[in-house]
């Protein structure tokens, strides 16, 4: 597949391990400490619990969505297993790396990249992105000082670090509306990680969820939802309980836990661990 996509300036390369056992190189912002930096430090062993989960679940005839794709670490992992992957990334610099990484991969023909945000209504959103933590880009109020304060509060490791933050206007639309224009025959799995915006993405995808009934793998990060949107920590869990009959934690070996019966169970796990977890939600 030949394209004119190039990696942005000041990019570096890091290894990435795929679920099928292969290793590839991916480009990312050299100063990024959130995804690209760990990829280098961990020799490509990025979120191995999700890699193992994908390997266990995904089949070659599946269609998968990667919402909040960043530079494509999970996009490429899904593409090594599935029949097709649609990767949504709102931040322009992340999307440029994503396109570059997809274009030079062996599975490029299986991946479509969409450089836009998914939301619960058509809109233009302000995205706050700091090049030092590009994996933590979030929907902001539009005020740079407020965005920087919220970002530092949400990521204690950069609280005292100088951050180069920009605010960019990005187009947003409902997933339901996007799929009306770009229809798919099937949809089997959605991976969703959008720094606290998950509830709004799912509100804009109700028709899609009802029709296809895909598996949802989603990050549950109440810190993002509370600091960026003022939402209660349990709000997303109660939304998921309405939409899915089974909610389980993805354990470190990629296997699912027993179903989570109530918010208190998840809250205890969040408090005892790193403050966020990945969930497997099924009909």
With 90 as the cut, is the pLDDT of residue 109 above it?
yes
Q: In the predicted model, what is the mean pLDDT of residues 104-123?
A: 98
The pLDDT assigned to 9 comes to 81
> In this structure, is the dihedral angle defined by the CA atoms of residues 199, 170, 4 and 43, taken in order, positive or negative?
negative
Instruction: Quote the CA–CA distance of 178 and 17 in Å, as a whole number.
Output: 31
Which residues lie closer than 8 Å to 79 by C-beta, 6 or more apart? Answer: 85, 102, 105, 107, 110, 111
Question: 220 phi and psi, to 5 degrees?
Answer: -115, 105
Q: Where along the chain do the CATH 3.40.50.150 domains lie?
A: 46-120+171-282
Which residues lie closer than 8 Å to 163 by C-beta, 6 or more apart? Answer: 130, 132, 133, 148, 151, 152
Q: How confident is the model at residue 60 (pLDDT cuts 50, 70, 90)?
A: very high
Distance of CA 33 to the CA centre of its chain: 16
Inter-residue contact 204 to 77 (CB < 8 Å) = no
On average, the pLDDT of the chain sits at 96
Q: In the predicted model, what is the mean pLDDT of residues 41-51?
A: 98
Quick one: which H or E segment has residue 219? strand 215-220
pLDDT in tens, 177-192: 999 999 999 999 999 9
The pLDDT assigned to 4 comes to 60
Q: In the predicted model, what is the mean pLDDT of residues 205-228?
A: 98
The predicted model scores a pTM of 0.97
Inter-residue contact 174 to 121 (CB < 8 Å) = yes
With 60 as the cut, is the pLDDT of residue 100 above it?
yes
Q: How confident is the model at residue 219 (pLDDT cuts 50, 70, 90)?
A: very high
The pLDDT assigned to 3 comes to 56
Q: In the predicted model, what is the mean pLDDT of residues 24-41?
A: 97
The pLDDT assigned to 64 comes to 99
Instruction: Quote the CA–CA distance of 261 and 247 in Å, as a whole number.
Output: 8
The pLDDT assigned to 7 comes to 85
The pLDDT assigned to 6 comes to 80
The pLDDT assigned to 40 comes to 97
Q: In the predicted model, what is the mean pLDDT of residues 94-113?
A: 97
Q: In the predicted model, what is the mean pLDDT of residues 161-179?
A: 96
Q: In the predicted model, what is the mean pLDDT of residues 65-74?
A: 98
Considering the domain 46-120+171-282 in this protein, what is its CATH number?
3.40.50.150
The pLDDT assigned to 2 comes to 45
The pLDDT assigned to 1 comes to 41
Inter-residue contact 79 to 107 (CB < 8 Å) = yes
SS3 of residue 65 by DSSP: strand
Quick one: which H or E segment has residue 56? helix 48-57
């Amino acid at each position: 597949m030949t394209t004119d996509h190039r990696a942005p300036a000041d990019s570096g390369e890091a290894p990435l391990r795929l679920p099928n056992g292969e290793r590839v190189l991916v480009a990312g912002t050299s100063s990024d400490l959130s995804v690209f930096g760990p990829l280098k430090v961990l020799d490509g062993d990025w979120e191995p619990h999700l890699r193992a989960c994908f390997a266990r679940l995904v089949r070659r005839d599946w269609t998968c969505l990667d919402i909040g794709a960043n530079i494509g670490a999970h996009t490429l992992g899904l593409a090594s297993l599935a029949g097709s992957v649609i990767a949504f990334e709102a931040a322009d610099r992340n999307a440029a790396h994503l396109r570059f990484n997809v274009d030079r991969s062996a599975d490029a023909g299986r991946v479509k990249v969409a450089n836009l945000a998914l939301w619960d209504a058509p809109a233009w959103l302000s995205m706050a992105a700091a090049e030092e933590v590009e994996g933590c880009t979030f929907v902001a109020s539009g005020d740079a000082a407020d965005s920087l304060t919220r970002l530092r509060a949400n990521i204690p490791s950069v609280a005292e670090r100088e951050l180069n933050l920009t605010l960019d206007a990005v187009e947003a639309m409902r997933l339901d509306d996007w799929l009306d224009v770009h229809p798919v025959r099937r949809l089997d799995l959605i991976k969703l990680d959008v720094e606290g915006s998950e509830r709004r993405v799912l509100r804009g995808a109700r028709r899609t969820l009802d029709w296809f009934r895909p598996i949802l793998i989603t990050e549950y990060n109440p810190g993002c939802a509370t600091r960026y949107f003022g939402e209660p920590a349990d709000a997303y869990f109660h939304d998921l309980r309405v939409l899915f009959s089974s909610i389980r934690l993805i354990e470190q070996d990629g296997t699912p836990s027993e179903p989570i019966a109530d918010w208190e169970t998840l809250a205890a796990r969040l408090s005892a661990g790193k403050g966020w977890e990945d969930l497997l939600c099924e009909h």
